[in-house]
Structure 1
C-alpha cells in the first residue's frame, strides 16, 4: 500500500470526530466518537456531507470507505442525548429534507464513486441507514443491525424506502415494524452484507474490495454507479436509455484498457 496521508476534518464539528485518510486512491472516513457509540450530531452530519462532496470531486479518489472507531459500534445513528437536550430547550425537530443542508444519506447514495461501509461494530437506527446508503457493506461477525425507530417513535424514512428495494419486502417490513436487531450472519443471508468477517477485520476486508475496485477504469466504475443508482425503480426500457456522465466507450481509458490488454501490461488509467 502507498503511504497513508492522515488528516482531520475541519469545520463546525469537532475535528477529532472525523478522521480522514487516503490510501491507494481510497478515501477513508472514520467516525471517531466511540464514547457515544459513534453517534451523529447535526454538525458531524454536515461535515461528513461536505467531505463526501469533496471526495467526489477529487480526481485522485476512486472509492470511499466509511467506518467507525472501536469495535462496539459502526454508528448508533442520531445522538439521542443531543436530541433530548434540544427537545428540552424547546428547539423544533427539523426533518432532514427540510433543512438548508443536503441530507447526508442522499449525499452518500448519490456520490458517483463506490462507497463501502466497513461495519466495525453494530449499525442501528441512523447508523444502519447510513450503511444502507452505501453501495457495499462488510461487517464484523459480532455486529448487530437493526431499526428500533418503531420503539422510539421515530421514522426510519430512508430505510422504509430503500430496504424493500435491497432485500425481500417481507423481511424488510419485519425489520421495520418489529424494531428488533438481527445478527450479521442473518443480515448476510438477507443479502444486506457482502461479507462477514472476524472481529476487528471489517476495515481490512473493505479495503481489499476497495483497492480492487480502484484498480479498474474510473470512468467505467463511475458510470456503473450512476446508472445503477439513477435507474433504480425505472422501467427497463427507460433505464436502457439513460446516458449520464462520460460514456466509457468514448473515453481515453477505454483506449488504454484495450492497449494494455493487447500489450499484456497493467493499464494506466487517466479517469477520462
Structure 2
C-alpha cells in the first residue's frame, strides 16, 4: 500500500455512515480504525466489544505480526466515552455500569496482553478513554497538532487503567501531575517525557506507524512474541523473579533461531517459520 493509498482510504470513510470500527490488513500488519469522526471518534459500548474481539482475532492470526490502532480524520484519535450518550442515559434513569463490572472490563487488558507488537497512530487528540487505549499499546506515534491527557479529575470519573499504567510508562511525578490536574499536554511535551515514540506532521501518523510495524513484522515472530509477553508479565515483579520467567515458545530452541544464523552467514533475508 502506498502512502497515497493510506491517505485516500482515510478520506474515503463516510463520517456519517459505515461501521464504527474499520478493519484492514496491509501485508502482515492489521489496522484498526475508529470511525466516528463526527463525535471525535468517541467510544460506544458496541465499539469497545468489537475492538476487543478484533484484537483477540489478530492475536490468534498467524498471518498478523503487528497491529495498528488509529482513528478517522485528523481531529481526534479518540475522545474516550461518548459523554452525550452517557448524559442521555443518565437523564433516562439508566444506571451507570462501571467498566470493571461489565463484559468490557478487560478491554484495555486485551490490548495490553495481545502478545504481538501494538502501535497507536494518534492522528489527532487522544484524551480520557482514548488516551488509555493509546497507553495500552506498546508504542505511540502522534501528529504534531494533537493534545493528550486525562480529564477524569475534572469530570468526576476514575482513569483506573491510567492510574496504574501511566506511572509505569513515564516518570511518576509527571504521571501524577497529569492525573491530578486533568490538563492536556502537547505532542512535544508527550515526546519529551517519553510517552510517545515520535511526533510527525499532520496526516502522517498512520504512514509512520505502518513503516514501523512493517519493519518489526520482518523480524522473527517467536522472538517478538517472547519479548512482548516477558515485558508484560515481568512488570512489577522483583528482578530475580522476572529474570526467571520462561513463558511461551522459547526462541533459543526454535527452528527460527537456526534459520536466523543461516541467513546471516549466507547474507540473505531469513525465511521465518514461526516454530
1:220 offset after TM fit, Å? 0.2
Aligned residue among 254, 258, 267 for 1:255: 258
C-alpha contact (below 8 Å) 2:48/2:104 kept by paired residues = no
SS of aligned partner of 1:187: helix
- Tell me which residue corresponds to 1:104: 107
Partner of 1:181 in structure 2?
184
Q: Deviations over 1:23-67 (max 9, x none)?
A: 120000000100000010001000000010000000000000000
How much has 1:88 moved relative to structure 2?
1.6
How many pairs were matched up?
A: 263
Aligned to 1:150: 153
Q: Deviations over 1:161-193 (max 9, x none)?
A: 111111111111110000100000000001000
Q: Which segments of 5 or more consecutive residues in structure 1 lack a partner in the other structure?
A: 7-13
Instruction: Please tell me whether residue 73 in structure 1 is matched to residue 68 in structure 2.
Output: no
User: Unaligned regions of 5+ residues in structure 2, if any?
Assistant: 10-16
Q: In the alignment, which residue of structure 1 is the partner of 2:12?
A: none
Is the alpha carbon distance of 1:197 and 1:101 closer, same or farther for their aligned partners in structure 2, counting shifts above 3 Å? Answer: closer
| Distance verdict in 2 for CA 1:227–1:15, change over 3 Å | farther
Worse-matched range after superposition: 93-102 or 207-216: 93-102
Residue 87 of structure 1 is matched in structure 2 by 90
Residue 116 of structure 1 corresponds to 119
| TM value normalised by structure 1 | 0.94
Separation (CA, whole Å) in 1 of partners of 2:179 and 2:105: 25
- Root-mean-square deviation over aligned CA pairs: 1.4
1:100 CA displacement: 3.1
Match among 199, 217, 220 for residue 202 of structure 2? 199
CA distance in 1, matches of 2:116, 2:269: 22
TM-score normalized by structure 2?
0.93
Aligned partners of 1:123 and 1:144 also within 8 Å: yes
Once the two structures are superposed, what CA deviation does each residue of 1:99-158 show, in whole Å capped at 9, x if it has no partner?
234521110001000100000000001000110000000000000001000000000011
Q: Match for 2:61 among 58, 63, 84?
A: 58
